[in-house]
């Protein structure tokens, strides 16, 4: 039978697991129960694909047609015309087919393999197009950064700014339709082999609260949200497209897009993307204005947009700490231009902050170790009376000011920092493609080779070894059950970190090595006078 102390430790572990589950639900909130009709999947091929969606029974009526019938409906479309808008950061290709953005090329971010990162792409409906609009627009460039598109009663204007922001407008003769569905874009993993589709998401801000839906929600068919959203975004792990209209969005639609697998694709399930559509409410004068961001998930650029668009980073409840850590990492990078070194310097800084707490914990464990003979005698003396035994132990702890849970204190106080760092590193585009020693990309696991198809990642293995080493030199409490429980901790951490980003594994490994160094130093100091076992106690 477990004593009271061990039982409390078990309860503490259960609460920690429950807290982790709660955190995951906060980062990836479950889809609310609705009963919408299933959405049609987008199956891509060599031609432009038009996504379509069914309207749930409780949704507003389908948007009114906004294009006039033309002979194009029964005849072949005219040849595609593309106008390119360009600055130092992006090249935006605007197409007359559908009157939207065909593709956005990011000059500052390289694709894995060759070339630059491309957002949206020719396989999908153009961004900023009216959903299901297959009309051919008259297209007219106005300089290097502005274009005008016209079709029937519709006139669109897109103007590229100095970075990743496009200012746009759409005008109609007379009042606009009840709902105007505007395509935000289609997000796909930047690297189909290494970036999990779990990072794909559709985000929006409604009633000052951030909301997120992922690919798994779109696959369930719950692709409609009637919400007064301030903006709507579609994103992958490191890049995003955000539509911010001058008035609130009336509803958000999202649906999966099936991608053609590359030649070396090995899994049975094809790769997926995610398409977002924002439905704008009717405009009395038929004019709609908006801003459109298409670029990396850089916190400071998103925050500068002014409508909490930085929430797409999903820092969650630890956002304040995440921002401080991100700012610190970039500060150290400016001093030494290597993000691996920057992460190590952040770890050292964190260790300096928490040094007094861990020192106090080690001191308390050393003191507690001095009382092990007395505790053993108490357990033997009252082995048939657990309540009396626990009462005597608590009396001993109180008399000599011993905290039996002091060894857990350093871990507990670091939990918010750990979660904040985890949230920051998983979305920090700065780490993408940044190498360190044998690590090719700090945003990915540090796989060096495979054995029987399994990846060999040195950092998580080194981290696990350091945890076992620390346990070996940690003063024991004499509780065999608690010791057995602690033996599982390195294994659990190995499972958690093995496929995590190497940047996160680097942080925890360095943190463990610094803790070992502190513990080695502290254990060589003389134990405090209060830790001596009292003579004659039995």
Q: What is the pLDDT of residues 50-99, one digit of tens each?
A: 333 333 334 444 444 444 444 444 457 788 899 999 999 999 999 999 99
Instruction: Tell me if residue 363 falls in helix, strand or coil.
Output: helix
Which of residues 496 and 309 earns the better pLDDT score? 309
Share of the chain above pLDDT 90, in %: 27
Among the CATH numbers 3.30.70, 1.10.3470, 2.70.98, 2.60.40, which is that of 36-312? 2.70.98
What's the whole-model pTM score?
0.75
197, 199, 205, 206 alpha-carbon torsion, rounded to 10°: 50
Strand partners, 43: 258
**Average pLDDT, integer, range 141-170:** 92
Give ranges for CATH 2.70.98 in the chain.
36-312
Residue 302 has pLDDT above 90, yes or no: yes
pLDDT band at 159 (very low <50, low <70, confident <90, very high): very high
Res 39 pLDDT > 90: no
For residue 139, what are the β-bridge partners?
Answer: 149
Burial label, 397 (beta-carbon count in 10 A; 0-12, 13-18, 19+): middle
Instruction: Say if CB 288 and CB 180 are below 8 A apart.
Output: yes
**350 Cβ contact partners less than 8 Å away, ≥ 6 residues apart:** 414, 417, 511
Q: Calculate mean pLDDT across residues 253-282.
A: 85
Residues 6 or more apart whose Cβ sits within 8 Å of residue 324: none
More confident residue, 405 or 275: 275
pLDDT value at residue 411: 65
Query: Among the listed ranges 232-236, 242-246, 283-287, 333-337, which one has the minimum average pLDDT value?
Result: 283-287
* pLDDT above 80 (res 459): yes
Q: Which residue carries 């409604």 as its tokens? A: 206
């Amino acid at each position: 039978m477990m004593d009271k102390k061990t039982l409390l430790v078990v309860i503490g572990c259960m609460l920690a697991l429950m807290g982790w589950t709660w955190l995951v639900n906060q980062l990836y909130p479950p889809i609310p129960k609705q009963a919408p009709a299933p959405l049609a999947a987008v199956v891509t091929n060599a031609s432009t694909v038009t996504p379509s969606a069914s309207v749930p029974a409780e949704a507003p009526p389908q948007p009114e047609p906004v294009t006039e019938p033309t002979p194009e409906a029964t005849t072949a479309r005219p040849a595609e015309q593309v106008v390119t808008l360009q600055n130092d950061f992006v090249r935006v290709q605007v197409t007359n087919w559908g009157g939207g953005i065909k593709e956005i090329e990011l000059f500052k971010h390289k694709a894995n393999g060759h070339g630059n990162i491309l957002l949206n792409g020719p396989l999908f409906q153009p961004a900023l197009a009216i959903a299901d609009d297959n009309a051919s627009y008259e297209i007219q460039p106005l300089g290097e950064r502005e274009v005008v598109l016209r079709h029937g009663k519709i006139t669109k204007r897109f103007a590229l700014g100095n970075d990743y922001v496009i200012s746009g407008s759409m005008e109609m003769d007379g009042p606009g339709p009840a709902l105007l569905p505007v395509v935000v874009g289609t997000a796909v993993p930047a690297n189909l082999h290494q970036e999990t589709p779990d990072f794909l998401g559709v985000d929006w801000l409604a009633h000052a609260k951030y909301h997120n839906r992922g690919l798994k929600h779109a696959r369930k068919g719950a692709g409609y949200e009637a919400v007064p959203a301030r903006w709507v975004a579609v994103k992958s792990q490191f890049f995003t497209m955000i539509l911010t209209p001058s008035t609130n969005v009336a509803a958000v639609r999202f649906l999966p897009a099936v991608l053609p697998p590359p030649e070396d694709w090995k899994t049975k399930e094809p790769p997926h993307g995610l398409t977002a559509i924002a439905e704008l409410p009717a405009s009395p004068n038929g004019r709609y204005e908006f801003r459109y961001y298409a670029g990396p998930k850089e916190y400071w650029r998103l925050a500068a947009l002014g409508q909490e668009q930085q929430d797409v980073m999903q820092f969650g409840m630890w956002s304040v700490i995440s921002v401080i850590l991100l700012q610190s990492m970039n500060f150290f990078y400016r001093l030494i231009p290597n993000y691996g070194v920057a992460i190590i310097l952040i770890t050292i800084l964190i260790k300096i902050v928490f040094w007094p707490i861990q020192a106090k914990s080690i001191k308390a464990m050393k003191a507690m170790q001095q009382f092990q003979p007395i505790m053993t005698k108490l357990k033997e003396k009252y082995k048939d009376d657990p309540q009396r035994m626990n009462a005597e132990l608590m009396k001993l702890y109180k008399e000599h000011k011993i905290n039996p849970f002091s060894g857990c204190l350093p871990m507990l106080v670091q939990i918010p920092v750990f979660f904040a760092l985890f949230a920051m590193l998983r979305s920090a585009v700065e780490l993408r493609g940044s190498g360190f020693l044998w690590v090719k990309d700090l945003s990915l696991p540090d796989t060096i080779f495979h054995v029987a198809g399994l990846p060999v990642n040195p950092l998580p293995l080194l981290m696990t070894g350091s945890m076992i080493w620390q346990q070996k030199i940690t003063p024991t409490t004499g509780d065999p059950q608690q010791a057995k429980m602690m033996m599982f901790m390195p294994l659990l951490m190995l499972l958690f970190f093995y496929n995590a980003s190497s940047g996160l594994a680097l942080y925890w490994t360095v943190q463990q090595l610094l803790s070992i160094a502190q513990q080695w130093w502290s254990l060589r100091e003389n134990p405090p006078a209060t830790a001596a076992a009292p003579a004659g106690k039995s």
